[in-house]
Amino acid sequence: MKAVQVVGYDTKLQLTEVPEPQIEGPLDVIVRVGGAGVCRTDIHILEGIWKERTGVQLPFTIGHENAGWVHAVGDAVTNVEVGDKVILHPSMTCGLCRACRSGDDMHCLDNSFPGMNIDGGYAEFLRSSARSVVRIDDALAPADVAGLADAGLTAYHAAAKVAKTTRPGDVCVVIGAGGLGHIGVQVLAAISGVTIVAIDCIPSAVDLAVSMGADHGIVADGTHVQQVLELTGGHGAEAVIDFVGEGSATREGVAMLRRAGNYYVVGYGGVLDVPTIDIVYTELNFIGSLTGSYNDLQDLMTLSSQGKVTLRTTEYPLEDFQRALDDLGAGRVRGRAILVP
């Protein structure tokens, strides 16, 4: 089968022929890939940022946002059948550790992460597990929802944290209205009562966020911090979700936060540099937010089937993987780039 593989760090991906994955265990599920999301994390993988954390052996197939059709199942699989349309939770978990039993799948002590430490979905077929597959509504196409498997799940996880700690009328600033941000805006609109302020340096991204439920859209032009303060009577927002996490975004985001506010760090690549006295004096809370759980993915797919969360996508044939990555890196993708085998 065709697969796009990492052959070296700071080296371009290569399209090659590899053997199709086979059933190796009773809970294995082989999926025929219908769509694979192109994520900024894929760029970071090529840069070597994850090399020491994953310990993956090269070459390996990249791609951690996947959806498609069940192609084959192990003897013990009962929750899906061949032909079912599914989206894949990005992590393959054990189901036995304390984290799994608590529904905290992303912190499983014995997990595998297709596309990061084992072969992923930039390919025609992918091996997953029964614990990772979620059946999706017949009205949804795999290529239309694949990006929700991680980008959507990560945005949902952060937005759900905001929903639990805010009240109707509180203000939540969303920094970055791109691939994750435009999903986060929709989730906030669907499950919380916050006033949503979307900020991005690209006007079209701001317009997209407003069209998808943001109450206010602000272009990051140097006056955006002041605009947020004016919107909040000078106090700042109760919550900030930072989907950028690099450059000046974090420093500016902290300046938009009110006393005792919550700052959710989702994007990464930069440094959080805040005087500890400021954290203590104003009781600011800084909260890391990874991808979501299996249950989060089920909830997100319910919102998707209800039409409350939709993914803006640009599709590319699998063979055009480099163009998709180049477009993403250059900021030319509005929403999510999807590779379709």
The full set of domain ranges for the chain reads 2-150+292-340, 152-288
- CATH superfamily for 2-150+292-340 is Medium-chain alcohol dehydrogenases, catalytic domain (3.90.180.10)
Which stretch of DSSP H or E encloses residue 191?
helix 181-191
What pLDDT is stored for residue 312 in this prediction? 86
Q: Do 2-150+292-340 and 152-288 agree at the fold level?
A: no
What pLDDT is stored for residue 54 in this prediction? 81
Q: Which two tokens stand for residue 222?
A: 């140097």
Asked if 181 contacts 209 with a C-beta cutoff of 8 angstroms, the reply is yes
Cα–Cα distance measured from residue 147 to residue 338, given in angstroms and rounded to the nearest whole number? 7
What pLDDT is stored for residue 201 in this prediction? 94
Asked if 37 contacts 65 with a C-beta cutoff of 8 angstroms, the reply is yes
Q: Tell me the residue type at 143.
A: A
Place of tokens 């969303």: 174
User: Which sign does the torsion angle of CA 215, 219, 220, 222 carry?
Assistant: negative
The beta strand positions in 181-322, using DSSP E, are 195-200, 216-219, 237-242, 257-265, 285-288, 313-317
CA 51 from centre of chain: 20
Question: Which residues of the chain have a pLDDT value below 70?
Answer: none
What pLDDT is stored for residue 33 in this prediction? 98
**Cβ neighbours around 7 below 10 Å, total:** 12
What pLDDT is stored for residue 269 in this prediction? 82
What pLDDT is stored for residue 106 in this prediction? 87
Asked if 135 contacts 160 with a C-beta cutoff of 8 angstroms, the reply is no
For residue 91, which of 73, 69, 65 has the smallest C-alpha distance? Answer: 65
Mention every residue, 6+ apart, whose C-beta is less than 8 A from residue 13: 4, 5, 6, 7, 46, 62, 122, 321, 322, 325
* Architecture of the domain defined by 152-288: 3-Layer(aba) Sandwich (3.40)
Residue 159's SS3 state is helix
What backbone torsions phi and psi does residue 119 show, to the nearest 5 degrees? -60, 135
Report in angstroms the alpha-carbon separations of 313 from 40, 122, 164, 275.
15, 16, 29, 40
Pairing between β-strand 66-73 and β-strand 85-88 as defined by DSSP bridges? antiparallel
What pLDDT is stored for residue 287 in this prediction? 97
Q: Which two tokens stand for residue 338?
A: 């999807």
Cα–Cα distance measured from residue 196 to residue 83, given in angstroms and rounded to the nearest whole number? 40
